Amino acid sequence: MKVLNIQRMSTEDGPGLRTTLFVKGCPLKCKWCHNPESIACESSIEWFFVRCMGCNTCFESCPTGALKQGQDGILWSEEKCTRCFKCEEVCPTGAIEVKGIDMSVDELFSELIKDKAFFGEDGGITLSGGEICIQYKEAAQLLEMLGTEEIHRALDTCGLCQWEHLNTLLPHTDLVLYDLKLYDLQEHIEWTGADNKLILENFEKLCHLREQGAKFELWVRTPIIPDATDSTENIKALAEVVRNRVDRWELCAFNNLCVDKYERLGSQWEFLDKPLMRESEMEFLLKIAESTGAKNVLYTGRTRMEE
Ligand code: SF4
Ligand code: SF4
């Protein structure tokens, strides 16, 4: 599998204390994306300003001239890079990191179960993205192996995948974390780069399976992004879709913790100047959702002080 990161002691990717596997590759390009380094399927290079001592060893070792000195630091050319990873190898300070390494299912299984003792009754392992369904064959094997250890398994998906791929994973999944961002098709295209037809269809199929007795839990997550997903109309429309068919609907308040990631990738984040949501704004959206009959709704994330 093409792995971005293994995050231990995670508390935001399902119930309890969890280990989350993040993989590379996503079919969406949300303008607010908090993991921009996960979008490309290929490995990428990240440069950390604070660790760099300016020795130039990386440029001199790069066989293709994919690295050069920019005004604000080292610039990486995705097109020229052949992914030989010499730059990471030679950097004396760890200022260059490769994002996206290949690991076998067996290697991942051994890594992930190391934390089993910390999971307790509620915790477990979450497979997340990018989009995990892109690597559904390997993900299915991994989930099945984790099942033999009786570990709680969650799947975090954006829903933009072939139903057959998602369905392959469901027999080995205890909880599906499903993202519903925007109801309006045009707005979905504008903010995420793709339409939401398949996402909504797959959601209906998941609900249908549960009505037929499938045992997996279903949580919906909606990122509340200022001026993008936070309108009354959007929450009302999504509430009509979610209704009382899920175990939990989480409205996730916008945060700006990803700014430095964009800087490291040499781009500027479109939401740089947006403030955090106010508690009263999140309460308001929560009430809107509940007023349409949606059940088990809550909001999560940091909010800013009321003025
Ligand atoms: S991975 Fe290889 S080709 Fe790419 S920037 Fe580093 S040294 Fe250059
Ligand atoms: S090798 Fe490492 S420390 Fe030296 S210039 Fe390159 S990134 Fe900076």
Query: How many A from CA of 112 to the centre of ligand 1?
Result: 29
The per-residue pLDDT for range 259-288, each reduced to its tens digit, is 888 877 777 899 988 999 999 999 999 999
For the chain, give the number of residues: 307
Q: Is 95 in the pocket of ligand 2 (CB under 6 A)?
A: yes
Ligand 2 binding pocket mutation candidate from 91, 98, 264 (most atoms within 8 A of CB): 91
Q: Which atom of ligand 2 is nearest to the CA of 67?
A: 6
Under the banding of pLDDT at 50, 70 and 90, the label for residue 141 is very high
Q: Is 93 in the pocket of ligand 2 (CB under 6 A)?
A: yes
Query: How many A from CA of 44 to the centre of ligand 1?
Result: 9
Q: Which atom of ligand 1 is nearest to the CA of 76?
A: 5
Q: Where are the beta strands (DSSP E) in the chain?
A: 2-10, 18-23, 44-47, 67-70, 73-76, 96-99, 101-102, 124-128, 152-157, 175-179, 217-224, 248-253, 297-300
The per-residue pLDDT for range 161-214, each reduced to its tens digit, is 999 999 999 999 999 999 999 999 999 999 999 999 999 999 999 999 999 999
Helical H segments across 62-184, by residue range = 86-90, 105-112, 116-119, 136-148, 163-169
Question: Residue 75: nearest ligand to its CA?
Answer: 1
Atom 4 of ligand 2, residue of closest alpha carbon:
55
- Domains, the chain, in order of start with CATH, read 2-40+101-300 (3.20.20.70), 45-96 (3.30.70.20)
Task: Give me the pLDDT at residue 6, please.
Answer: 97
Task: Give me the pLDDT at residue 289, please.
Answer: 95
Pocket of ligand 1 (CB under 6 A): 45, 61-62, 64, 66-67, 76, 81-87
Task: Give me the pLDDT at residue 236, please.
Answer: 96
Across the range 107-119, mean pLDDT stands at: 96
